[in-house]
Structures are given as C-alpha cells and as structure tokens.
Amino acid sequence: MKKYIIIILIILVIAGGILGYSLLKNKNNDNKGLTTISLNEVTRSVFYAPQYVAIANGYFEEEGLNIELTTGQGADKVMTAVLAGQSDIGFAGPEAAIYVYNEGKEDYIEVFAQMTKRDGSFLVSREKNDAFEWTDLKGSTIIPGRKGRSALHDF
C-alpha cells in the first residue's frame, strides 16, 4: 500500500511541476497582451535613432506591440532570417528582395515601406568646424562606417 501512495505522490509532484512550468511559461510569453514582432535591421545606425527612441520609450508597447530587435549585419543575412521565419520584418535595401524575386523563388519578400530616403552615412570630425567646406577634406582619409563598405577614401 505504501508503494502505491509513494508512486501517486511522485506522479502528482511531476504533474504539478509540469503544470506550474506551463503556467509560468505562458505568463512570461504573454507580454501583457502585446503582439511580438521580430525585427531584423541590416545594421545598427544613428540613422534609425527614431526607432530606438520609440522602443526605449515604450511607444510600440502603447500600440500593443513588443519589438524584438536584432541586427543582421548585411542585407543577405536579413533576407535569410525573414525567409527562414526567424524574423517577421527585415530592414534592408530593396535590392535584397529583388535578388530573391529574380531567382524565381515562389516564397519571396514584399517590400512594403520606406524607412529612409538617402544613405545613412554621416561625416564626423574630432574637431569642431563651424565653416566646413568639402575642400577641407583635401589630404584627409575617410574611414567607412561599417564592414562591407568600400575601403578607405583618400581626398
């Protein structure tokens, strides 16, 4: 009789553990009723500062969205993540979607928004220069902002 009671207790403890874990997991995944969107950006850039501010200040949460932001480090990696279902949305140039479409893939990406209109590059200097002229760059070396950009530029 003792043997059966011990077996029943073990089964109840295991069932209680599974139930407790399941309830805790669902509570953590609920995100307060928010819809989670995984967003893969091509690079981390000051050009996307409004997006970072909106995430940090909870503006997406106010609209019922939880943004999971990752950085792909290249349009090809962003496209791969979206096509593989690892990301819901990818921020990359439209050329990545065109390459996939031109390959004749049945599952291709739809370009649906424009986040920026121009290249997100900035020219910065160590010293302040209130009267900057492009000719001031003569004799300077410009370092590109991220890996994959063209090499150093000498002026």
> What pLDDT shows up at residue 25?
55
- Residue 27 Cα to chain centre, angstroms: 24
Residue-wise pLDDT for 25-72, tens only, equals 555 555 578 999 999 998 888 778 888 999 999 999 999 999 999 999
Q: pTM of this prediction? A: 0.58
Residue-wise pLDDT for 102-151, tens only, equals 888 888 888 877 777 766 667 778 889 899 998 988 888 777 665 555 54
Specify whether the CB–CB gap between 41 and 58 falls below 8 A. Answer: no
> What pLDDT shows up at residue 106?
81
Return the SS3 of 45.
Answer: coil
pLDDT bin (cut points 50, 70, 90) of residue 91 is: confident
Q: Please give the Cα distance from 144 to 147 (Å, whole number).
A: 8
Identity (one letter) of the amino acid at 65? L
8, pLDDT greater than 80: no
Q: Which residue has the tokens 């003569």?
A: 138
Specify whether the CB–CB gap between 39 and 67 falls below 8 A. Answer: yes
